[in-house]
Amino acid sequence: MRILIVDDEPAMHDSYRRSFAPVAAATGLLDAMAAELFGDDEDATAPDEAGPDFTLAHCMQGLDAVAAVEAAIRDGDPFAVAFIDVRMPPGIDGKETAVRIRALDPNINLVIVTGYSDFSPVEISKAAGPADKIFYIAKPFEVAEVTQMASALAHRWQGDRELAEAREVLAAQVVQLQEQGHELAANESRAIHMANHDSLTEAPNRLAFRRALTDRARTDSRFAVAMVDLDRFKLVNDTLGHLAGDELIRKICSVLQANVPAGGMVARLGGDEFGLMFDTPGVQAAEMDCTRVLKACSGTFKVLGNTVQGGASIGLIVTEAGESRDPTDLMRRADLALNDAKRDGRGVVRVFDESMDENIRLRRAIEGGLSQAIAKGELSLVYQPIVGREAFEVVGFEALLRWNTEDHGPISPAVFIPIAEESNLIHELGDWVLAESLKVLAEWPGQYVSVNFSPRQFRRHNFVGRLVESVQHAGIDPRRVQIEITETAIFDDADRAADTLYKLRQMGFRIALDDFGTGYSSLYNIRKFALDCLKIDRSFIDGMGRERESAAIVHSIIHLGRALGLGVVAEGVETETQLQALRVAGCSHMQGYFFSRPVAQERAKEIAEARFIAVPGVLDVPADIPELGNGTHG
């Protein structure tokens, strides 16, 4: 380390040189004498740990010292300590020298060496401080006094430098983490925007419309839902091209936004179909508002230099408090009214009435038959494998409910599950599904079963206790049971849901968030709830090859899951292209027709015992693994 000596007396410089002169020769003589007197004891004669290696720089005047400090800083080899005499005629005195050196190098340790001074230590400290970096030695000084002072301050200077470097590294890391946090937040914001907005019009999309409709349905207000479809839009695409069609879509969207009742919502649902939602005092008022919207869409539009005659048809439903306000059902009824408007010659508004819906009578019949389904033995379960991305190992099965009626034949779960959800029948069905799922686990070598639970089941009193009792009664390890819930189930009461999921995880159950990306998810939700994996909704997988937004959402979900240490299951994998894209993106697990359709209990047992699903041309697997891929079974 470098030490600067500033003194106008040559004799003082000689004193400093002798103070810092090497003592190796004298030490060697003493060691030899000790060895002769006391014997050759390596531990006794081992020298102390070497102190700092000092390099001295000598200046006779203060200005020379200031220049030396400036040069040392410029060369990247600064001084650790400077010993400064106070009285140095005829140049600047020690106080001014210390002030100027401190201005150049705030880290140097200054030692004022003086026998007599015109300045008090307090005055010098105020001028050339801080106080913890300025010290005093009186003349004449002892050698040990100077060397010990230099050694202590040199060690401290080195420690200060290392600490400053560590702080710089830490500050850079903090900045980097902040930038990464901002980038992650920006990416999340972009992903949320892309997931909820139409890329052509920037209007809310079907997902956002359904979400807003779900929120509105929870209120007691009367509101209207309308479906708008452009008339003869295909003719525009066929005669003027898709660019003209896109431009017309944008113009119609602007017209709808300008004419929807105050506070209403306009969403592009897909193609040339739009959805409207707005508050209304009654059916007549809503019909008048839709007629006004229809008139605004029926003018002429200038599209890429061409004149196009606009036109639309509207289907309308007004919902009252106390009526069925299921979002899917409301959109379906508005669609039925729209179809009726198109059948009547287009360019009209039709209000939904019960006669348009033959399914209402079927719905009532289904609700009556569903209560007897278990007793009649009409229910059954099928199982779809869930495979890992690397060797396509079957790690679990999703249990799927089927209902084959005597009167109506097979009925889709998409039809009867919502009906059961609206009544307490969902609890009876759920208990049966869980019990049957636990029975088959005893036949599998180690895979888990994934069981879907509806929002009403999840909010059931003593939900955790019922699950624990069921697995204990069946003699099943809870770790082999995966509970699939939707975002809707946990969003209604987030605090209660977080507590429920935490208890389930404590008991050993696996937790999967189903249909991820279609509900209310955010980074906050993912971090708050105890989850094992995310299941990407099949609609995004299906759209990967056609829509840039779907591919971006899938990649974002996979990266999010991996960053949070969660598994990610892609549902609805049906093609090799989808499989390869998901594997490249890092998706941990997949299920879909490409590997196997949902199969009966006996076939599920065979697949479980085989453990792997062979996918020729995608991954080499042992020859004795049966080929179950491409949806050829079940």
| Structural domains in the chain, sorted by start | 2-164 (3.40.50.2300), 206-357 (3.30.70.270), 420-594 (3.20.20.450)
Q: Which of 246, 226, 227 is nearest to 236 (CA)?
A: 246
Say yes or no to pLDDT of 445 above 80.
Answer: yes
Residue 360's pLDDT band, with cuts at 50, 70 and 90, is: low
Segment 160-188 mean pLDDT: 86
Average pLDDT, the chain: 85
Task: Give the best-scoring range by mean pLDDT among 141-145, 198-202, 596-600.
Answer: 596-600
Say yes or no to pLDDT of 414 above 80.
Answer: yes
- The region of weakest confidence among 50-64, 459-473, 507-521, 545-559 is 507-521
Between these two residues, 518 and 381, which has the higher pLDDT value? 381
Sorted by sequence, the CB contacts under 8 Å of residue 297 that are 6+ apart come out as 228, 230, 252, 255, 256, 310, 311, 312
Say yes or no to pLDDT of 120 above 70.
Answer: no
- 225, β-bridge pairs: 277, 317
Segment 388-408 mean pLDDT: 91
Say yes or no to pLDDT of 59 above 90.
Answer: yes
CA pair distance 236, 242, nearest whole angstrom? 8
Segment 508-514 mean pLDDT: 92
Q: Which of 147, 11, 22, 9 is nearest to 89 (CA)?
A: 9
Say yes or no to pLDDT of 268 above 80.
Answer: yes
pTM: 0.48
Strands (E), 98-141: 109-114, 134-138
Residue 629's pLDDT band, with cuts at 50, 70 and 90, is: very low
Segment 153-175 mean pLDDT: 88
Sorted by sequence, the CB contacts under 8 Å of residue 37 that are 6+ apart come out as none
CA pair distance 234, 240, nearest whole angstrom? 10
CA pair distance 318, 550, nearest whole angstrom? 32
Q: Which amino acid is at 126?
A: K
CA–CA distances in Å: residue 284 to residues 74, 222, 274, 291, 327: 85, 13, 21, 10, 22
* Confidence (pLDDT) at 424: 78
CA pair distance 189, 185, nearest whole angstrom? 6
CB 216 within 8 A of CB 311: no
CA pair distance 601, 400, nearest whole angstrom? 11
CA pair distance 241, 234, nearest whole angstrom? 10
- The region of weakest confidence among 16-30, 197-211, 406-420, 618-632 is 618-632
Say yes or no to pLDDT of 606 above 80.
Answer: yes
CA pair distance 531, 510, nearest whole angstrom? 7
CB 60 within 8 A of CB 29: no
* Confidence (pLDDT) at 95: 85
* Confidence (pLDDT) at 49: 45
Q: Which of 227, 210, 222 is nearest to 340 (CA)?
A: 227
CA pair distance 65, 98, nearest whole angstrom? 9
Q: Residue for token digits 């956002």? A: 208
Express each pLDDT in 550-603 by its tens digit: 888 889 889 888 888 899 999 999 999 999 999 999 999 999 999 999 999 999
Q: Which of 618, 493, 619, 555 is nearest to 187 (CA)?
A: 555
Which phi-psi region, left, alpha or beta, contains residue 113 (left: φ > 0; alpha: ψ -120 to 50)?
A: beta
Residue 204 DSSP label: B
* Confidence (pLDDT) at 133: 83
**Residue 529: both structure tokens together:** 């709830």
How many distinct helices (H) and strands (E) make up the chain? 25, 21
CA–CA distances in Å: residue 396 to residues 127, 386, 441, 607: 76, 5, 10, 10
CA pair distance 347, 369, nearest whole angstrom? 41
Say yes or no to pLDDT of 294 above 90.
Answer: yes
| Spatial strand order in the sheet of 223-230 | 265-270, 273-279, 223-230, 312-319, 349-351
CA–CA distances in Å: residue 204 to residues 200, 346, 389, 497, 536: 11, 25, 34, 28, 21
Segment 472-497 mean pLDDT: 86
Q: Which amino acid is at 62?
A: G
Say yes or no to pLDDT of 32 above 70.
Answer: no
SS (H, E, C) 573-587: CCCHHHHHHHHHHCC
- The region of weakest confidence among 114-118, 266-270, 334-338 is 114-118
Ranges of H-type helices in 312-444 = 327-343, 359-370, 373-376, 413-421, 425-441
What is the three-class DSSP state of 173? helix
Our measurement of the distance from residue 139's CA atom to the centroid of its chain's CA atoms, rounded to an integer in Å, reads: 68
Sorted by sequence, the CB contacts under 8 Å of residue 30 that are 6+ apart come out as none
Ranges of H-type helices in 241-356 = 242-259, 283-297, 327-343
CA pair distance 348, 366, nearest whole angstrom? 34
CA pair distance 103, 622, nearest whole angstrom? 75
Between these two residues, 548 and 263, which has the higher pLDDT value? 263
- The region of weakest confidence among 399-403, 465-469, 483-487 is 483-487
Residue 291's pLDDT band, with cuts at 50, 70 and 90, is: very high
Say yes or no to pLDDT of 44 above 60.
Answer: no
CA pair distance 586, 558, nearest whole angstrom? 7
**Residue 91: both structure tokens together:** 């140049």
Residue 519's pLDDT band, with cuts at 50, 70 and 90, is: low
* Confidence (pLDDT) at 348: 92
473, HSE (Cβ side, Cα atoms, 13 Å): 11
